[in-house]
Structure 1
Amino acid sequence: MPDSPHIEEANPLLRESESDYRSSFEYSCNEIDFERNGDSENPLDWPYSFKCGIVALLSFMGFTITFTCISIVPIAGHIIEDLNGGVEAKSAAVMLVTIWELGEAIGPFFIAPLSEMFGRYRLYLTMNTMFLMTILFAALSPSTELLIVSRALMGISVASNVLNPAIVGDMFIPEQRGTAVSLIMFIPLIGGTVGPVFSGVIVQSLGWRTIIWISFAMASICQLFFFLFFRETYKVQILKQKAMVLQSKKGSSINNSEKNTRAKLELNGLRDSIMRPIMVLYDSSVLGALLLFGSFIFAHFYIVSTTLPDILEKIYGLSPTATGLAFIANGLGTVISFIISKVFLDKIYVKLRALNNGIGLPEYRLPLSIIGALTLPPAVMLYGWCAEYRLPLPILLFTMIWLRTSIMLATSPLTAYIVDACGHYSASAMAGLISIRCLAGAFLPLSMARLTDRLGYGGGFSVFGILDIIFALIPVLVVRYGAQWRQRSRYTASTLY
C-alpha cells in the first residue's frame, strides 16, 4: 500500500515476547483479520459520518480539558489570595497554572502503552472517571496546597492528548487525517480562549469555584456520551476479542501450562509497553529532535499565559474581566491557524506524495511547521517590547494573534507526522511528545519569570526569540534529511523508502 507506509512501520515495535504472545493467543484462530472487502468491525470501514461524530466527541473532551486547565490562568493570583487570606504569592500562582503540565508529563507514560495492551476504549473511560474525581477534589479544596495537588492529578488523568491522535490514526487513511487531526488539535484550544473569558467575568460575581463546577458539568456530559457512543478503535484489541469469541465457540481450552505462559507474557508485555515511549525516543533521533522542537515551542503557550495577566492588569491597568476578554485574541489566532491547516495540510501532503511517485512520507506534513517556526521569533520579541514600552493595547492584541497563529502552525503538524511515522504505536510516540512538552510547559515559564526580572520584558523575550530562530532549523533539516534519518531507527524505518 504506497499510500500508507505507516502500517508497515509499526511492525518493528513488537518485541519478541509480545510478538509470541499475539501470535499464540490473539491470532490463533487462522490468523484472524478484517474482511478485505469491507468489515463493520474495522474502524477504517466505519461510516464516515460516525467517524466524524467520534472526532467531534474527542474534540469536545479536549475542549473541556483545555477549558479546565486554562480557565484559572487570569484569576490564579486572585485564587491564591482568597485561599491565603488575602496574602499574594506570585510563585504559588504560577505553580497553580503550570503544575498541571508536570502531572500531564507523567500520565502518558502509562496511558499510551496500556492503551496498546488493553485498547483505547477502557483506558479512555477509566481516565475520564479519574479526571471527574480530580475536578471534584479541586472544587472542594480548602487550601492552596490541596488545590495544587488536585491540579497535578488532573494533568495525570488527561487521556485525550495521548489517545486522540492515535484514535484518528485508527479510523482514517493518511490523506483524510489532516482535517481530523486539525479538529482535535484546534477545537480544544478554543477552550483555552473561552475559559479565561468566562473566569474573568464570573470571578467578580460568582467566585472562582463556579468555574471549576462548570468544568465538572462539561466533563460529566462528555463521560455520558463516551458511554453511549464510543467504540473500540484499536485494531489489535478488536481482533483479539474476535479471536476469543471464535475460540469460545469452538470450545477450545487452555491448560495450566498455557495459562502460566500467558501470564508471564502479559507481564513482560506490560513492562515492555510501559518502557516503549522511552525506547522510541531513545532509538529515533528524528523523533527526539522534533519532540525537542515541539516542546520548546509549546512552552510559549504557558509563557504567554502566565505573563499576560500581569502585563494587562499591572502595566495596562485592565480589570480581571477585561483581562479575560483580551484572551479572545488567542482564540482568533487559533481560528486563523486552523483555517490555514485545514486548507493546506492535506493538500500539501497529497501534492508532495504525487511528486514522489505516489509514495507518501511523514515529512510531507512539516512544511507548515517551518512557516510557523520562522514567523514566531519576531512575534515573541514584539510581545516583550510591547510590555516593556507599554505600546498601544491594539498592537499587543495583534501580537497575541500573531503569536498564537505561529505557535499552532509550528506544532500542530507534528501530531500528523507522528501518526504517519509510527502507525499503530503512535500513542507511545505521542506519550513521549506530551511528556517532554509538558515538562517544558511546567518549567520554562519559571525561567521566563527570572529572565524578565533581570532583563525586563523586552530583553527576556528577545532571548527567547533568538532561541526560537535556532530551534526553527530542526523542521527544516527534518524535511530535507528526515526520510534518510528515520531508517536508522527500527521504530520509524519505512519499508517503502
Structure 2
Amino acid sequence: MEIQIIHSSGQAPTNGELWLYYLSWASQCTTFTCISIAPIAGYIIDDLKGGPGSPGSKSATVVLVTIWELGEAVGPFFIAPLSEMFGRYRVYMIMNTMFITAIVFAALSPNTGLLLTSRALMGISVASNVLNPAVIGDMFIPEQRGTAITMIMFIPLAGATAGPVISGAILQILGWRAIVWMSVVMTAICQILFLKFFRETYKVRILSRRAARLNQEIGASEKNSHNWIDWTGLRSSAIRPVVVLCNSGVIGALLLFGSFVFSHFYIVTTTLPDILRNVYDLSPTATGLAFTANAVGTLASFAISKALLDRIYIKLRSLNNGKGLPEYRLPLSIIGGLTLPPAVILYGWCAEYKLPLFVLLFTMVWLRTSMMLAISPLTAYIVDSCGIYSASAMASLVSARCLASAVLPLSMSRLTGRLGYSGGFYVLGGLGLASTLLPILIYRHGEKWRQRSWYTSSISQSR
C-alpha cells in the first residue's frame, strides 16, 4: 500500500503577514545592490582602469549597469522551474548563496572583467523577482493577494531610492568597494534569517513530503515515496516558462504590455540626466535631488494600489455572484495604461520647449505613478490565473521586461536624435496608448481566452 496525497485546502501559514513584510524588506538588498552602482559606475571603471579617460571607459560604464539586466533575463528560466520541481526553499537557499558569493567577487575584483562577470552572476541569481510573487500565491487567498503583491513590489523600491544617495556619500569617504561590502553584509544577514526561519510554501512539495513521511511510517515501497526527483519532469519544468508563454496568448499579450510599460523606467533613467543637465542647466547635486520625484510617484501608486486593488476585486466578484476572476485585477492596470501616454508626451514637451522645472518634476511623478499602476496588477493576475505554474509565468514576465529595458532605451535614444524629444515621445505615447488595448480586451474576453491554455484554464487553477 502506498499513500498519495492529491489535494489540499491550501491553508496559508499562520505567519503569512510576517513573511510578507520580511520578504518585502529583504528584497531591498537586491534593489540596493543593483541601483547603488549606477551613479558611481564611471568612478569604478576609472579606478579599475587606472584613471579617467582610459580607452573603452564609457562603454564599460554602460555595460557595468546594464549587464545586471541581461543576467536577470536569463536567471528566471531555471529559477522558476526548479522551484516548481524542488520547492521554493531549496532554490532560495542556493540562489541567495550564489548571489552573496557574486557580490564578494565584485568587492574583490582587481579588473573590469571580473567585476562585469560578477554583476552578471548577481543578475542571474536574483530569485526574489520570480519567487516572491509565487510565495504570495502559496500563502494568501485571492482576496488578500492584491495587497500582498502590492507591498512586495513597492517596498523594495525603497532600496532603489536610498541606494544612489548612500553610494554617493560613501564613495567620497570610503571608496566604492565599501558600498559593495555593505551589500554583502545586508544580504548575508537576510540569508541567515532565511536559513533559520523560512519554511517551504509550495504546496506540491509540501504534499510530496507528507506522502513520503506517511509511506515511511506504514513501510510502503521507497521507490515512489523517496525518489521524487523525476528527470522527465525536470526537463519538462526547465522548458515550462517558454511553454507557458507560447501556450497562453493571454499571458503573452500581458507580457508584451507589461514589458513595454516597464521599459519606461529605463527610458526615463537614461534621458533625464541629459535633460536636467543640458536643458535645465542643473548641477549634479540638483540632478540627484530631482530623482526623488520618482519616489513620490512610487509612494502615490503604492497608496492607490494598496487601497483599491483588492477592493476592486472583491466588488467585481460580488457583482458576479461571488465568482472571482483574475481579470478583476486589471481595471487599475487599464487606468495606468491610459494615463501614461499623456505623461509621456508632456515629458517630451518639457525637454523640447524647456517648460518650467516644476512641470517636469510633476510629470516625473505622474509618469512613475501611471507606470506602477499599470504594472502591479499584472503580477496579481499571473498569480491568480496560473496557479501552481505562476513561478514559470513570472519567469517569462521578468525575462521579457529585462530584455525590453535593455533594448528599448537604445531605440529611444536614436528616435529622439532624429525627431527631437517632442517627436520621439509623441511616438512613444502613441505606442503606449495602442498597447493599452491589450489589457482592455483581456478584461472583457480573458475568461474565455484563458480556457484555451492548460496553464491558465480553470482546471489548472483548481489543482
Q: TM-score range by the shorter chain?
A: over 0.9
1:86 equivalent to 2:52? Answer: yes
Q: Which amino acid aligns with 1:69?
A: C
SS of corresponding position for 2:27: helix
1:366-390 deviation line (CA, Å, top 9, x unaligned): 0000111111112122223323333
**Corresponding position: 1:95 with 2:63:** yes
The 3 A distance-change label for structure 1 pair 391 and 203 is farther
1:46 pairs with 2:20: no
Distance across 1 between alignment mates of 2:353 and 2:175: 34
What residue in structure 2 maps to residue 66 of structure 1?
31
Number of the residue aligned with 2:374 = 410
Query: Is contact 2:12-2:138 (8 Å) kept?
Result: no
Q: Amino acid of the residue matched to residue 415 of structure 2?
A: L
Structure-to-structure mapping, 1:237-248, within 5 angstroms: 237-248=205-216
CA 1:242–1:401: 2 relative to 1, 3 Å: same
In the TM superposition, residue 324 of structure 1 has moved relative to its aligned partner by 2.9
Q: Does 1:236 align with 2:204?
A: yes
**CA apart distance, 1:487:** 1.4
Q: Report the counterpart of residue 10 of structure 1 in structure 2.
A: none
Structure-2 separation of matches of 1:95 and 1:378 = 32
Tell me the distance in 1 between the aligned counterparts of 2:418 and 2:48.
30
Cα distance in 1 between the residues matched to 2:309 and 2:373:
10
What letter is aligned with 1:165? P
Q: CA deviation at 1:213?
A: 2.1
Q: 299-308 or 420-429: which moved more?
A: 299-308
**Distance in 1 between the 2:437 and 2:251 partners?**
15
- 2:115 aligned with 1:147, yes or no? yes
Say if 1:182 and 1:341, in contact at 8 Å, map to a contact too.
yes
Counterparts in 2 of 1:242 and 1:79: CA distance versus 1, 3 Å: same
2:457 is aligned with 1:493 = yes
- Contact conserved, 2:75 with 2:124, CA < 8 A, in 1? yes
Partner of 2:261: 297
Q: How does 1:301-316 map to 2 (within 5 A)?
A: 301-316=265-280
Q: Secondary structure at the match of 2:22?
A: helix
- 2:5, 2:208 within 8 Å by CA — same for their partners in 1? no
CA positional deviation for 1:32: 6.1
1:25-36 counterparts in 2 under 5 A? 28-31=2-5, 34=8
CA distance in 2, matches of 1:32, 1:465: 49
Relative to structure 2, which stretch is displaced further, 457-466 or 485-494? 457-466
Query: Closer, same or farther in 2 for the Cα pair 1:369/1:322, shift >3 Å?
Result: same
Give the match for residue 20 of structure 1: none
Aligned partner (choices 153, 156, 159) of residue 188 of structure 1: 156
Structure 1, residues 113-149: CA drift from partner, whole Å, max 9, x if none? 1001111011011111111111112222233333222
Asked whether the 8 Å contact 1:197–1:321 carries over to 2, the reply is: no
| 1:425 aligns with one of 386, 389, 396 | 389
* Aligned partner letter, 2:380: A
Q: From the superposition, tell whether residues 83 and 460 of structure 1 become closer, same or farther in structure 2 (CA, over 3 Å).
A: farther
In the superposition, the TM-score normalised over structure 2's length comes to: 0.93
Moved more, 476-485 or 268-277: 476-485
User: Aligned pair 1:363/2:337, yes or no?
Assistant: no
Quote the Cα distance in structure 2 between the aligned partners of 1:444 and 1:375.
20
Contact 2:4 2:211 in 1 (8 A): no
The equivalent of 2:236 in structure 1 is: 272
Query: What are the ranges of 5 or more consecutive residues in structure 1 without an aligned counterpart?
Result: 1-23, 37-41
Count of residues in correspondence between the two structures:
458
Q: Which of residues 406, 424, 433 is equivalent to 1:442?
A: 406
Alpha-carbon separation, structure 2, partners of 1:470 and 1:91: 34
Q: Distance in 1 between matches of 2:284 and 2:193?
A: 34
Shift of 1:339: 0.5
Following superposition, the deviation at residue 329 of structure 1 comes to 1.2
**1:317 deviation in Å?**
3.9
Shift of 1:66: 1.1
Counterpart of 1:137 (choices 101, 105, 110) is 105
Partner of 1:5: none
Query: What residue in structure 2 maps to residue 483 of structure 1?
Result: 447
Q: Does 1:114 align with 2:82?
A: yes
Structure 2: any 5+ residue segments left out of the alignment? none
Residue-by-residue CA offset, 1:295-348 (whole Å, 9 max, x unaligned): 111111112122223333444444444333322211111110010001100010
Counterpart in 2 of 1:376?
340
Quick check: 1:333–1:401 contact (8 Å CA) kept in 2?
Answer: yes
Q: Which amino acid aligns with 2:13?
A: W
Mapped to 1, the partners of 2:445 and 2:130 lie a distance apart of 27
Pick 1 or 2: higher relative contact order, CA cutoff 8 A, min separation 6: 1
SS in 2 for 1:232: coil
Output the CA distance in 1 between the equivalents of 2:450 and 2:326.
Answer: 10
Q: CA deviation at 1:201?
A: 3.1
SS of aligned partner of 1:488: coil
Aligned partner letter, 2:163: G
- The TM-score with structure 1 as length reference comes to 0.87
Amino acid corresponding to residue 282 of structure 1 in structure 2: C
Indicate if the aligned counterparts of 1:197 and 1:327 stay in contact, CA closer than 8 A. Answer: no
Deviations 1:236-277 (A, max 9, x none): 11111112222222233446xx79x968x7110110001111
Q: 1:321 to 1:82 in 2, by over 3 A?
A: farther
Separation (CA, whole Å) in 2 of partners of 1:31 and 1:124 = 25
How far residue 175 of structure 1 moved from its aligned partner, in angstroms, is 0.2
Letter of the 1:31 counterpart:
I
Shift of 1:30: 4.9
